[in-house]
Structure 1
Amino acid sequence: MAIIKPRSVAVLVVTAFFLLSFMWHRKRVQVSLLHIFCNCTGPLQENVTFPEVPSELQVKINDIFNRIQKLIPNVTLSNLNIATNGKNSKAFIVNSREKYCVGEDLVVQLDMYDALGNRKTYGGDFIWTRIFSPELNAAISGRVEDFYNGTYHVHFPLHWQGKIKFSAMLFHPSEGISALWRSRHASLGVIGFNGRFVHLKEQAITTCGFKLQTKEEVCEYLDPDDEEAFYCIKPKNLPCESLHDMMAIDLHSSYLSNEEKQLFQRSNIGVEIPANFEFVDVVDCNKVSSAKPNCQTGMNSPFPSGYFYNGVWNPVYCNMSNYNNAESLTKCLQGKKLFLIGDSTLRQFIMHFTEGIQIVKYFGYHGRQWQSWEETLLAINIEKDIYVSYKRHGFPLESFMFYYFKEDKYTSRQIDQQGGGKDTIFVITIGQHFRQFPLQLYIRRAINIRKAIERLFIRSPETKVIIKTENTREINAPVERIGDFHGYTQYLALREVFQGINVGFVDAWDMTVSSAIATVHPPGNTFQGIMSLTFTFACS
């Protein structure tokens, strides 16, 4: 028998302790990463003795998420008759008068009823409101105040004279909102992804996503600084680095009951609430309006943020220039680099520059309209020294065809790769492709973009950055997957994240609600308003 000396025993004990400690900490790190990326509503199925300490980023995400969640009704649909009914509800003017003056506020009260004519006793309905004058091509959104007892006040600032009409649409009842919120956070997304791996002459297609329920070996695509990750099942005999293309797949998942689904039939979406008045008569009254400063980055954007008059968007807090033709936009962009980072609502910008007013020409791209809309695009004007690029915001992207994935980068990384400067403009949007996933994922991405902008401003404070909110979209869009209520909660989160930073904030949500344009790629005056405010911030 060998004799073990005390010194050897000590060495073995220390070594064993070190190995056990390493294994325990390694396990803790793995669990921590799983917790960071899963955005789960339930507990992790791990035997961890001590609770995880959330990161600083996760604390911020939770704070914003919890504030928005407090606005969401927590009600159960026992039968359809108890749901808010738009046709049975009522709208009337508070302290009605014969005439109103420009500059005053109009307050309309909404009293909500169910299908049986019973007064609702709780709030949380999703209501779109606007006043408008068709002959003046004028409109403004209303600010809805919820008293959480079935009564709402809608506040409208009056900015023009004439006969003004009123509209309030019950987009979804509170029972539907509660169901949609629960559904959105019941999984890690109602769409999935396939990744195509290519290496030499071999290729394979496997399942990808933010979390995979599998015992197979997986590839982890991790950005540790931003605490972002997604995963793909590792194909046999191919390395993880060979992920080449990505495609979304419809999982045909639903977390709504059959009764809840009836709330989202087309006939139950956007139901007009009857009003007991036909119009409001507004006169000038010779009130002198206070002077507004020119629009500059860093300004706070209120709600409503502006109004249309004669088809032109007028911010209520600043004076906007009109960039509605080739001459004005060429002058704005001459000698500058413009980086458009986001989704197809920013691809619409580069299409306008190339196929519309033709101030730049595509480089290496010969398609038109929405053909291969996921592609990175570059357009230039050598004579005027204009450089315009469009890139998608990175995973996730709802494209049901394979698209080239090797150059995919999160928005924050795209910002980090640019030096910036006084002749550099970033226009950024995120939204439409995040509606299918839990809200925490969107908040994380928005916070990481803000952090990247803060880093950009440290090295190049003269860089212009514009944040565009998402647009509303078609009223017949699949409600559970990409409906506008999901967009609205993201809109609230985006406003929260980008407070107090020197960016231009383009409230495209407000513009599209105000103009009642139910399309994700708005045409005409609405698009011109978005463009004009964007480049007023960029070129002022």
Structure 2
Amino acid sequence: MVSGYKASVTRRTFLSLIIAAIFLMSFFCYRYRFQNSLQKILHTCIVPPKEEEAASKTELQVKVDAMYEKLEKLIPKVNFTNFNTTTSGRRSTVSLATPQETYCIGEDLVVQVDTFDHLGNRKTYGGDFIRPRLFSGDLGAAVTGVIKDFNNGSYQVHFPLYWAGKVHVHILLFHPSEGVAALWRARHSSLGVLGFVGKFEQFGKETVANCGFELKENREICEYKDALDEEAFYCYKAPGFPCESLRDMMGYERLKSYLTTAEKEMFQRPNVAVEIPPTFQAVTVTRCGDVTEAPKPKCQPGLGSPFPSGYYYKKIWNPTYCNMTSYKTGDDFMRCLQGKKLYLIGDSTLRQFMMHFTEGIKIAKYFRYHGSGWLDWHKALEAINLEKDLYISYKRHGFPLEHPTFYYFKEDLYTSRQIDRCAGGKDTIIIVSLGHHFRHFPVKVFIKRAFNIRRAVERLFIRSPDTKVIIKTENTRDIYCPVEMQGDFHGYTQYLVLREVFQGINVGFIDAWDMTVASANVVVHPQAYVFESIMSLAFSFACS
């Protein structure tokens, strides 16, 4: 009996131990699951997964951000300490990478650029804004070059050789890398260095209010939003005036700089666009053997645009990828434009086209406009030639527009919306340009506008695939214009955006930046042979 009792007790004790062990294992298991679940819940609430962040953005926002990040990678990560340690154009040097007596057409002339600071110390990083050019003045010939940055203070510039003769290398240090970094930071330190005043009108009464891409005062505002393009600007609501009564707009300089006092020395006149002295004289280029140029197609939309996209010879632009037709006389243009509708949408560099047609070669007459020259340059214009069945329209690209007096604002639709309203067709030509009026604002404003124009062109091609669309990049302008508002570095970043955005679409692409760098243009409205070449390329695309 005793042994049986002991056995029973032993069994109960063993069973209790097993139950306790199972309980403890279950407890730890569930505790781990609970902690893991709690951790996931807290992580989701406090730090949303990156996938969800990306999913909250629209497709357009994702594209804009990606383009911005691509540009930002090109900006040097340097800090300004003092002027003397920045790149000096006068102390830097340009030399031949492979010196020889003569060079051959079809080869590249490669030059080495070594940079030094104002104290004579060798620079150890890159990122300088350099503008290269190869030219023969007596031949009216010029071409730009491709820059390779070794990120150690040295660069190589590759110039393709297209003509025989004595050629000269001309390389400008436009801004040092420290200046590039400062300009990029300043441009994105606010929502623009240009402000706007809107004029509201109601039953003969007027009032004004500040407007812009962002308004910071805690007041009632009017939102003017384009939902399709995801673009908006705002005005403070004028008391007693509905938002719909906005009629006129005026731009003004905010008179606020986002550069430090010390940084501004880099942008004073003697320090902008300084020529880097070459260590050699003119280079001789000859025709070596039987050099035959590969056949090229006629210039037509959809060809894309390499870089360099062409060169001047005898002051005529020669695209490297297509054969351009020369348009000079009224008869030349009328053979292209008779029976056509031409829509010019952009800034004053396209207003220049309208002036050429109406006041220069006089193939059309203004309709309901009696001015001339740059008077009222901001106005929308129409011109007609009834005999030749030609209609020409010029309209601005929409907000923003830099203009120091009030102008009628209601007809300023975004370029994309103007394209959406166009029926298109084989007898319709649309030329678009934008850039100069966007230099005052963060580059994302320009990027979004460029993508929206492309989307509108894609919609146009669905309903009217035979419409001719030409995109003209902005050109270089005055060297000594205010760098934060109108400087060419801002223009260059926008130029890179347009090159990227309009790849792989059936448009004609006028690389006006390349054409004006090659010609050393320093005015906002190119003149003489440069303007003639821009016009010839535009209408080679339009009338192919």
TM value normalised by structure 1? 0.90
Tell me if 1:422 matches 2:456: no
The 1:122–1:453 alpha-carbon spacing in structure 2 relative to 1, beyond 3 Å, is: same
Cα distance per residue 1:347-393 (max 9 Å; x no partner): 00000000000000000011111111110000000000010000000
Q: How does 1:329-340 map to 2 (within 5 A)?
A: 329-340=333-344
Tell me if 1:242 matches 2:254: no
Q: How does 1:125-274 map to 2 (within 5 A)?
A: 125-274=128-277
Match of 2:356, SS?
helix
Which of residues 110, 120, 134 is equivalent to 1:107? Answer: 110
* Alignment-mate amino acid for residue 180 of structure 2: I
d(CA) in 2 for partners of 1:261 and 1:238? 42
d(CA) in 1 for partners of 2:53 and 2:178? 38
* Alignment-mate amino acid for residue 58 of structure 2: S
Quote how far apart the aligned CAs of 1:95 are: 1.2
Which of residues 294, 300, 309 is equivalent to 1:290? Answer: 294
Match of 2:312, SS?
strand
Report the equivalent of 1:70: 73
Match of 2:259, SS?
coil
Quote how far apart the aligned CAs of 1:171 are: 0.4
Quote how far apart the aligned CAs of 1:51 are: 8.9
d(CA) in 1 for partners of 2:204 and 2:70? 51
Tell me if 1:455 matches 2:495: no
d(CA) in 2 for partners of 1:146 and 1:525? 32
Q: Which has the larger radius of gyration?
A: 2
- Identical amino acids, percent of aligned pairs: 60
* Alignment-mate amino acid for residue 536 of structure 2: S
Quote how far apart the aligned CAs of 1:401 are: 0.6
d(CA) in 1 for partners of 2:156 and 2:183? 24
Quote how far apart the aligned CAs of 1:497 are: 0.4
d(CA) in 1 for partners of 2:204 and 2:462? 46
* Alignment-mate amino acid for residue 438 of structure 1: P
Quote how far apart the aligned CAs of 1:253 are: 1.1
4+ residue segments displaced more than 3 Å: 49-52
* Alignment-mate amino acid for residue 429 of structure 1: S
Cα distance per residue 1:215-262 (max 9 Å; x no partner): 111000000110000000010111100001000011001000111101
Contact in 2 for aligned 1:139/1:308 (Cα 8 Å): yes
Match of 1:258, SS?
coil
Tell me if 1:479 matches 2:474: no
Quote how far apart the aligned CAs of 1:471 are: 0.8
Match of 2:235, SS?
strand
Quote how far apart the aligned CAs of 1:408 are: 1.4
* Alignment-mate amino acid for residue 165 of structure 1: H
* Alignment-mate amino acid for residue 341 of structure 2: K
Report the equivalent of 1:434: 438
Please provide the CA RMSD for this pair.
Answer: 1.0
Which of residues 57, 60, 80 is equivalent to 1:57? Answer: 60
Tell me if 1:347 matches 2:351: yes
d(CA) in 2 for partners of 1:441 and 1:364? 34
Report the equivalent of 1:46: none
Quote how far apart the aligned CAs of 1:52 are: 8.1
Match of 2:267, SS?
coil
Which of residues 313, 316, 324 is equivalent to 1:312? Answer: 316
Quote how far apart the aligned CAs of 1:297 are: 0.4
Q: Give the gaps of 5 or more residues in structure 1.
A: 1-48
Quote how far apart the aligned CAs of 1:201 are: 2.1
Tell me if 1:524 matches 2:524: no
Cα distance per residue 1:9-51 (max 9 Å; x no partner): xxxxxxxxxxxxxxxxxxxxxxxxxxxxxxxxxxxxxxxx989
d(CA) in 2 for partners of 1:435 and 1:162? 39
Q: Give the gaps of 5 or more residues in structure 2.
A: 1-51
Quote how far apart the aligned CAs of 1:327 are: 0.7
* Alignment-mate amino acid for residue 518 of structure 2: S
d(CA) in 1 for partners of 2:116 and 2:304? 36
Which of residues 372, 382, 392 is equivalent to 2:376? Answer: 372
d(CA) in 1 for partners of 2:527 and 2:329? 15
The 1:386–1:232 alpha-carbon spacing in structure 2 relative to 1, beyond 3 Å, is: same
Quote how far apart the aligned CAs of 1:424 are: 0.1
The 1:118–1:499 alpha-carbon spacing in structure 2 relative to 1, beyond 3 Å, is: same
Tell me if 1:275 matches 2:278: yes
Quote how far apart the aligned CAs of 1:203 are: 1.1
d(CA) in 1 for partners of 2:285 and 2:253? 50
Report the equivalent of 2:34: none
Contact in 2 for aligned 1:83/1:173 (Cα 8 Å): yes
d(CA) in 2 for partners of 1:136 and 1:279? 14
Quote how far apart the aligned CAs of 1:505 are: 0.2
Q: Aligned pair count?
A: 492
* Alignment-mate amino acid for residue 212 of structure 1: L
Contact in 2 for aligned 1:103/1:289 (Cα 8 Å): no
Higher deviation after alignment, 281-290 or 445-454: 281-290
Match of 2:158, SS?
strand
TM value normalised by structure 2? 0.90
d(CA) in 1 for partners of 2:188 and 2:453? 23
